C-alpha cells in the first residue's frame, strides 16, 4: 500500500525530528501516523516502542554529551516505571479499548506540544520520592499499555514543578522514555507477539529524523512551524481513532 511504503516513513521521519528536538522520542507521533495510514492496532504498540527506543538512544547520547543530564532527577521515577512498563507491555488490549485510550493520549500530546513556550529557566528543589514513585509507576504503565514512552507527560510536570530547566527536563525525559520503552517492549516480547513487516523501513526514517532533531534540540530551540503541524496531525489522528 502506497501510504505504508511512502507516506508513513515520511511522517515518521518528521515526527522523530520534531519530538527529538524537545527531548522526546516520538511515540505519539508514530502512533498518529500509523493510525492515519490504517495500521492495525495490534501492530501499532510494538512498532512505536521499537522506534521510541532507537530515537531515545540517540537523544540520550546527545543530551548527555551536551551536559544536560542529571541522574539524581531520573532514578526516583524509573524505580517504579520500569516494572510497570513491563507489565503494561504484556497486556494485549482489545482494539475497541486500545483505540480510544491511544486517541486520548494523542490529543493530550497535542495539547502538550501546543503548550511549549519559550520561558526562562526557573529551577526549584528536586522531586520527593513520595511524588516521584507513584508518578513513575503511572507513566510506566501507560507506556507499556499504549506504546508511548511517558516523557510527553513527564516533561510538562518537570517544567510546571520547576524540577529542572528546559534542557535538563529534555535530558531526563528522553532517558525516561528509553528505559520505559525497553521495558514495555520486553513485556510485549514476553507475550509472544510479532512485529510489523515494514518496521525496518520505519526504523531508518525514525533514526534519520531522531539524529537531526536531537542534535538541534540539545543545542537549539524546537522549530515552531513543525510543532504546529504536528499538533494538527495528532488531533486529526486522535479523532480518527475515536470516530472511525
Whats the size of the chain, residue-wise? 244
Would you state the torsion angle of the CA atoms of residues 48, 189, 140, 76, taken in this order, to the nearest 10 degrees? -120
Torsion angle of the four alpha carbons 120, 112, 186, 85, in this order, in degrees rounded to the nearest 10: 90
pLDDT digits (tens, 9 = 90+) for 126-138: 899 999 999 999 9
Give the mean model confidence (pLDDT) for residues 63-67. Answer: 86
Find the mean pLDDT for residues 81-98: 89
Indicate whether 100 belongs to any domain. yes
54 domain residue, yes or no: yes
Percent of the chain with pLDDT over 70: 87
Q: In this predicted structure, what is the pLDDT of residue 118? A: 46
Residue 157 vs residue 30, higher pLDDT? 30
Q: Which residue has the cell 493530550?
A: 108
Residue 7 belongs to some domain of the structure? no
Each residue's pLDDT tens digit, 186-201: 998 876 567 788 899 9
Expressed as residue numbers, the domain containing 219 is: 15-36+43-243
Looking at residue 204, its pLDDT comes to: 96
Structural domain includes residue 5:
no
DSSP per position, 97-113? HHHHHHHHHHHHHHHHH
> What is the rounded distance in angstroms from the CA atom of residue 175 to the CA atom of residue 112?
19
Using an 8 Å Cβ cutoff, are 29 and 19 in contact? yes
pLDDT for the residue 23 = 75
| 79 in a structural domain | yes
Tens digits of residue pLDDT in 112-167: 667 654 454 567 888 999 999 999 999 999 888 888 888 878 887 887 788 988 78
Greater model confidence, 234 or 105? 105
Between these two residues, 182 and 38, which has the higher pLDDT value?
A: 182
Number of other residues whose CB lies within 10 A of the CB of residue 225:
8
Percentage of the chain lying above the pLDDT 90 cut: 34
Let me know if residue 1 belongs to a domain. no
Residue 217 has pLDDT above 80, yes or no: no
Number of folded domains in the chain? 1
Report pTM.
0.82
pLDDT band at 244 (very low <50, low <70, confident <90, very high): low
Q: Region 71-75: what's the mean pLDDT?
A: 92
pLDDT at 104: 85
55 vs 238, residue with greater confidence: 55
Q: Is residue 8 part of a domain?
A: no
What local confidence, expressed as pLDDT, does residue 195 receive? Answer: 79
Does some domain include residue 161?
Answer: yes
Amino acid at each position: 500500500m502506497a501510504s505504508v511504503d511512502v507516506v508513513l516513513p515520511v511522517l515518521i521521519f518528521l515526527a522523530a525530528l520534531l519530538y527529538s528536538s524537545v527531548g522526546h522520542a516520538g511515540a505519539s507521533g508514530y502512533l498518529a501516523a500509523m493510525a492515519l495510514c490504517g495500521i492495525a492496532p495490534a501492530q501499532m504498540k510494538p512498532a512505536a516502542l521499537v522506534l521510541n527506543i532507537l530515537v531515545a538512544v540517540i537523544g540520550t547520547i546527545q543530551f548527555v554529551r551536551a551536559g544536560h543530564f542529571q541522574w539524581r532527577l531520573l532514578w526516583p521515577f524509573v524505580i517504579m516505571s520500569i516494572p510497570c512498563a513491563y507489565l503494561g507491555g504484556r497486556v494485549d488490549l482489545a482494539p475497541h479499548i486500545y483505540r480510544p485510550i491511544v486517541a486520548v493520549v494523542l490529543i493530550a500530546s497535542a495539547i502538550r506540544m501546543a503548550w511549549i513556550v519559550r520561558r526562562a529557566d526557573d529551577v526549584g528543589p528536586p522531586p520527593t520520592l513520595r511524588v516521584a514513585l507513584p508518578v513513575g509507576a503511572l507513566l510506566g504503565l501507560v507506556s507499556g499499555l499504549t506504546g508511548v514512552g511517558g516523557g510527553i507527560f513527564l516533561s510538562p510536570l518537570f517544567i510546571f514543578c520547576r524540577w529542572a530547566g528546559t534542557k535538563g527536563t529534555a535530558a531526563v525525559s528522553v532517558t525516561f522514555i528509553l528505559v520505559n520503552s525497553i521495558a514495555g517492549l520486553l513485556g510485549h516480547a514476553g507475550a509472544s507477539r510479532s512485529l510489523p513487516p515494514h518496521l525496518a523501513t520505519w526504523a531508518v526514517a525514525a533514526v534519520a529524523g531522531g539524529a537531526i532533531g536531537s542534535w538541534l534540540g540539545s543545542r537549539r530551540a524546537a522549530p515552531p512551524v513543525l510543532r504546529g503541524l504536528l499538533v494538527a496531525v495528532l488531533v486529526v489522528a486522535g479523532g480518527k481513532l475515536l470516530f472511525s
